[in-house]
Structure 1
Amino acid sequence: MRSGVVNDGDSRKPAATGLSDEIVVSEHVTYEKLISIITGELEIDETKKKIEACYIVEGNGCLLFIRNEMSVKLEMLFDGKVGVVMCLESPSEKVEEIICYKSNSTSPMPLLDSKGNKIITDCKHSDVKVGQIYKDKCTLISVMALFAIEHSFNYYAKRSDKKSYVLQYRSENCVWIFKASCRRGTELFKVRFFQDVHTCPLKDRSFTQLQATVGFVSGFAAPKLVNYKRIHTMNDIIEDIKNAFGVDINYQKAWRAKERAIEILRGKPADAYRQMTRYVYMLNSVYPGSHIRMHKSEDNKFMYLSVALQPLKSEFEYYRPVVVVDGAHLSGAYKGTFVSASIFDGAGRILPIAYGVVDSENDNLWTWFFENFRIAFEERDSMCVVSDRHESIIKVVSVVYPNVPHLACIWHLWKNVCTNFRKSKDRLSDIYYAMVKAYRKDEFDFFWNQVGKIDKRVKSYLEDAGFAKWARVYAPVNRGRMMTSNIVECINGKLKLARELSIIEFLEQARKLFGKWN
Structure 2
Amino acid sequence: MEVGTEFVEISQAKRAVKEYCSVSVLPYFVERSDKGIFIVRCPKARDGKYCPFRIHIARKKSGAFHVKRHVKHDEYCMVEPKLNQLLTVTEARILLSKEEDVAARDLVSSIKKKYAVDTPYKTAWRALAIAKHQYAVEDGKSFQRISGYLEAVSRENPGTFARAERTDEGEFLRAFACLAASIKAFQFARPILYMDCCPIKSSFGGTVVGATAQDGTGETIPIAIGLCPIANEGNWTWFLENILMAIPDLNRGHVTVFHDRRDGLSRAIQSVLPLAQEAVCCNGLENELTNISRKCIPLFWRAAKAFNPASLTEEMQRIGEISPDAYEFLVRSKPVLWSTAMASVSRFGIVTGTAAESRNSWYKEFRAIGHLRILMRFVEKVGTGQVRGSARLKDELDLVTSTAMSIFKENLAKGSLLQLTSFSEDAFIVADNALSQAAVGLDRVVKLDQKTCSCGEFQIMCFPCIHAARAIQYRGDDPTTYMHETYRVSYLKNVYSVKVVPVDLYTDSGPCDGMKPPKNDIGKLAKKKTSQSTTTSMTAKSITCSRCGSTGHNSRTCTTN
Same fold (TM over 0.5): yes
Cα distance in 2 for residues equivalent to 1:416 and 1:390 = 15
**Post-superposition offset of 1:498:** 3.7
The aligned counterpart of 1:482 is 350
Question: 1:326–1:339: 8 Å Cα contact kept in structure 2?
Answer: yes
> In the alignment, which residue of structure 1 is the partner of 2:40?
122
Paired position in structure 2 for 1:433: 301
The equivalent position to 2:143 in structure 1, one of 266, 270, 273, is 273
Q: Which residue of 2 aligns with 1:321?
A: 191
SS in 2 for 1:315: helix
Aligned ranges 1:4-403 → 2 under 5 Å: 58=2, 81-84=3-6, 121-122=39-40, 125-128=43-46, 214-215=85-86, 217-219=88-90, 221=91, 224-225=94-95, 228-229=98-99, 233-238=103-108, 250-261=120-131, 268-378=138-248, 379-403=251-275
Gaps (5+ residues) in structure 1? 1-56, 59-80, 87-112, 114-118, 131-138, 140-186, 188-210
- For 1:411-447, what per-residue CA distance to the aligned partner results, in whole angstroms no more than 9, with x for missing partners? 22222211x31xx21x212211111111222211111
What per-residue deviation string (whole Å, max 9, x for no partner) do you get for residues 146-179 of structure 1? xxxxxxxxxxxxxxxxxxxxxxxxxxxxxxxxxx
Q: C-alpha separation between the residues in 1 aligned to 2:93 and 2:99?
A: 13
Give CA-to-partner distance per residue, 1:82-112, whole Å, 9 cap, x none: 23387xxxxxxxxxxxxxxxxxxxxxxxxxx
- Give CA deviations for 1:191-219 in whole Å, capped at 9, x if unaligned: xxxxxxxxxxxxxxxxxxxx987445325
For 2:46, the aligned partner's letter is V
Are residues 241 and 361 of structure 1, via their aligned partners in 2, closer, same or farther at CA, if it must alter by over 3 Å?
closer
User: Aligned AA for 1:430?
Assistant: P
Question: Could you tell me how far apart the structure 2 residues matched to 1:387 and 1:243 are?
Answer: 42
Cα RMSD of the aligned pairs, angstroms, is 3.7
Q: How many Å apart are 1:238 and its aligned residue?
A: 4.3
Which residue pairs with 2:276 in the alignment? 404
In 2, Cα distance between equivalents of 1:316 and 1:340: 14
Structure with greater Cα Rg: 2
Name the amino acid aligned to 2:130. Answer: R
Q: Distance in 1 between matches of 2:339 and 2:306?
A: 8
Q: Are 1:471 and 2:339 an aligned pair?
A: yes
Contact 2:147 2:163 in 1 (8 A): no
Counterpart of 1:502 in structure 2 is: 370
**Whole-Å separation in 2 of the counterparts to 1:251 and 1:414:** 42
Hey, what does 2:458 align to over in structure 1? none
State the Cα distance separating 1:269 from its structure 2 match: 1.7
Q: CA deviation at 1:315?
A: 1.9
1:514 to 382, 393, 398: 382
Contact kept in structure 2, 1:386 and 1:485, CA below 8 Å: no
Contact kept? 1:340, 1:488, Cα under 8 Å: no
> 2:355 and 2:141 mapped to 1: Cα distance?
32
After superposition, the Cα gap between the structure-2 partners of 1:493 and 1:120, relative to the gap in structure 1 and judged at 3 Å, is same
Amino acid at match of 2:240: F
CA 1:461–1:82: 2 relative to 1, 3 Å: same
Indicate the SS of the match to 2:211: strand
Contact 1:307 1:356 in 2 (8 A): yes
Q: Residues 124 and 252 (structure 1 numbering): CA distance in 2 closer, same or farther, change over 3 Å?
A: farther
Query: Judging changes above 3 Å, is the alpha-carbon distance between structure 1 residues 368 and 485 closer, same or farther for their aligned structure 2 residues?
Result: farther
**1:457 Cα deviation after fit:** 0.4
Stretch deviating more after TM superposition (395-404 or 223-232): 223-232
TM-score between the two structures when normalised by the length of structure 2: 0.52
Give the equivalent residue in structure 1 for 2:476: none
Q: Taking structure 1 as reference, are residues 123 and 362 closer, same or farther at Cα in structure 2, changes over 3 Å only? A: farther
Provide structure 2 residue ranges, at least 5 long, that are not aligned to the other structure. Answer: 9-30, 32-36, 49-56, 58-64, 66-81, 387-561
User: CA 1:466/1:279 → structure 2, altered by over 3 Å: closer, same or farther?
Assistant: same
Question: How many residues in Structure 1 have an aligned counterpart in Structure 2?
Answer: 330
SS at match of 1:121: strand
1:478–1:256 Cα change, 3 Å: same
CA 1:290 to 1:243, structure 2 compared with 1: closer, same or farther past 3 Å? Answer: closer
Distance in 2 between residues matched to 1:243 and 1:410, nearest whole Å: 43
Question: CA shift at 1:255, angstroms?
Answer: 2.5
Shift of 1:459: 0.7
Distance 2:345 2:143 in 1: 41
Contact 1:325 1:488 in 2 (8 A): yes
What amino acid is aligned across from residue 452 of structure 1 in structure 2? G
**What TM-score results when the alignment is normalised by the length of structure 1?**
0.56
Instruction: Note closer, same or farther for the CA distance 1:374–1:216 as it changes in structure 2 (3 Å cut).
Output: closer
Structure (1/2) with the larger strand percentage: 1
Cα distance between partner residues in 1 of 2:95 and 2:107: 11
> 1:226, CA displacement in angstroms?
8.1
Separation in structure 2 between the aligned mates of residue 382 and residue 489 of structure 1, nearest angstrom = 22
Q: 1:266 to 1:517 in 2, by over 3 A?
A: farther
One-letter amino acid of the structure 2 residue matched with residue 279 of structure 1:
Y
Shift of 1:341: 1.1
Identity %: 21
